[in-house]
Amino acid sequence: MMQRENTIRTIKFDHPERVSPGPLSYMLTYQGCNHEGYTGCGDDHAVGEMWTDIWGTQWHKEFPDVMGFPYGYPLADPVQLDSYQWPNPDDPRICGKIYEMLREYQAGDVFLAGQHRDTLWEKAYMLVGMENMMEYLYTEPDYAREVLHRIMDFQIGIARHYIEAGIEMIWAGDDLGTQCAPLLNPKIVEEFFVPEYKRLFGLYKSRGVIINFHSCGHIEEFLDMFIDLGVDVLNPVQATANDLERVRNRTQGKMALLGGVSTQIIMDGPVERIREEVRKRLWQLGKGGGYFCSPDQGMPFPKENIDAFYKAVDDYGVYPLNA
């Protein structure tokens, strides 16, 4: 069975041949998706450099192999809204990159995908500041709604370009959890964020686009929300932040999972412990389909350890799985 067909069967809980580490994708992005400015680079700046992205957020690169940190927020004060210039998704400096990348795409056993990094919550706190945005959700709700709505207007504009390009899958995401609890009150998420997610995901679902959503941390309280929104694949399902048995029981047959293998175990090893962890998660999360076996965070792993991880997935991830 080809990788593409196996991926579709995995997502549909429809008797895949094997568990894979994840969908193979050729990813389209717009200028600014990875915190770039209109003409310069973004997260690949050198350590110590500072820059301003297309949204007017200022960034500082502090550590190698890690994204920069925002430190200047153009919408920190509600009075700044009237003079703020929102980026235009139809600006050729922004959307032109999508079509440039599309010209390099060669169809094959991969999905053509588009990315909405910092889809809503994360983009809001990058514009307003995290503490400010959390406060405004209670003290300035109209302002918070306006910011979220305008961010999603932009994302929908980008989505229309992705759809024109012919994408089959999107990678979107907002980190909604800490290591032990939701970052935001679920009632706040339902009131302020869900209506905006529905706008974007509804557009994609109407075109048959697969939705792969990323949310770090503890996300158990949001599982029903993700399912109702039409999320097809949820990642990274952090092993240290969630009850994985509970997550699987609530999503079985409804939403595929990607991740679940402890980053700490892959980082520390040894090889036999990594193999045992993979085997455990394959059975726990994948015995009924709907599972892509992957680390629950991306890290610069020791080569021996990450090679051992992938070999274990190859060795143990063939259906029917064995406990």
- 168 domain residue, yes or no: yes
- 288 domain residue, yes or no: no
Q: What angle do CA 256, 258, 263 make, to 5 degrees?
A: 155
- Average pLDDT for residues 68-96, to the nearest whole number? 97
- 157, 164, 274, 310 from 306: Cα distances, Å: 38, 37, 9, 6
The neighbour count for residue 208, using CB atoms within 10 Å, is 7
The secondary structure of 81-118 as a DSSP string is TTT--PPPTT-HHHHHHHHHHHTT---SSSEEEEEESS
**What's the pLDDT score for residue 66?**
85
Token pair of 254, please? 């409804």
Q: Identify the residue whose tokens are 């990348």.
A: 101
Beta bridge partners of 172: 116, 213
pLDDT tens for each residue of 111-133 = 999 999 999 999 999 999 999 99
- 134 domain residue, yes or no: yes
pLDDT tens for each residue of 270-294 = 999 999 999 999 999 999 999 999 9
Is a pLDDT exceeding 90 seen at residue 24?
A: yes
Rg (CA), the chain: 20
The neighbour count for residue 272, using CB atoms within 10 Å, is 10
Nearest alpha-carbon partner for 151 in 195, 121, 177 = 121
pLDDT tens for each residue of 137-167 = 999 999 999 999 999 999 999 999 999 999 9
- 176 domain residue, yes or no: yes
The count of domains in the chain is: 1
- 301 domain residue, yes or no: no
- 298 domain residue, yes or no: no
The CATH number that applies at residue 215 is 3.20.20.210
Tell me the C-alpha distance between 244 and 249, whole Å: 8
Alpha carbon of residue 95 to chain centroid: 20
Q: Is the pTM of this model over 0.85?
A: yes
**What's the pLDDT score for residue 80?**
97
- 170 domain residue, yes or no: yes
pLDDT tens for each residue of 291-318 = 999 999 988 899 999 999 999 999 999 9
Residue pair 262/296 in contact (Cβ under 8 Å)? The answer is yes
**What's the pLDDT score for residue 40?**
80
Question: Domain range spanning residue 168?
Answer: 3-32+74-235
Backbone angles phi, psi at 24, to 5 degrees: -85, 125
- 256 domain residue, yes or no: no
Percent of the chain residues past pLDDT 70, beyond the cut: 100
Mean pLDDT estimate for the chain: 97
